[in-house]
Amino acid sequence: MPRSLTRDELVARLIRAGELEVSGEDQTETDSYFDTENFAFHGPDGFDADYNGLTEYFRSVRAAFDDRSIRRGIIVAEGDYMACQTWIEGTFVHPFTQSPAGTVQPTGARIVMDLMNIFRFDDDGRLVEEFVRTDYRSFLRQLGAAGS
């Protein structure tokens, strides 16, 4: 666990960082929860990105989905790592440019992204790494992507 923060403080920071990524309300505050220079994102199928790539992904989510929300489920912490269930929901009303299948046209459907995340914090309690696993087949089916 980072020396400067308790588990409950890290959980609160993780929850707030997710809320900000999904809402897009305050990029400066969002940045404060991350080591923006060294952050590494590791997604399904070998997809890796830095902080700018993560920010662009969430920008595309905000552009494609209205009525967005994020929920965290079970959260487990050990050392510098925190693992949790995450659900991001929204109504698919504009093209989604960063889906795993490329740009997908809106269907008006309510979409639920079901994720398992593992986060690593630095000594200052900033997010420095994230590993994500998700059921892309279900996600693409909800999006109405061809071949799903």
Looking at the DSSP bridge assignments, the partners of residue 85 are 116
pLDDT of residue 136: 87
pLDDT of residue 52: 97
Residue-range definition of the domain harbouring residue 29: 7-143
pLDDT of residue 98: 93
Residue 92, class by beta-carbon neighbours within 10 Å (0-12 exposed, 13-18 middle, 19+ buried)? buried
CATH number at residue 18: 3.10.450.50
pLDDT of residue 62: 98
Q: What is the mean pLDDT of each run of 10 residues along the chain (148 residues)?
A: 80 96 96 98 93 96 98 95 97 95 94 97 95 92 81
Q: What are phi and psi of 38, to 5 degrees?
A: -115, 0
Q: What is the pTM of this model?
A: 0.91
Structurally, the chain folds into a number of domains equal to 1
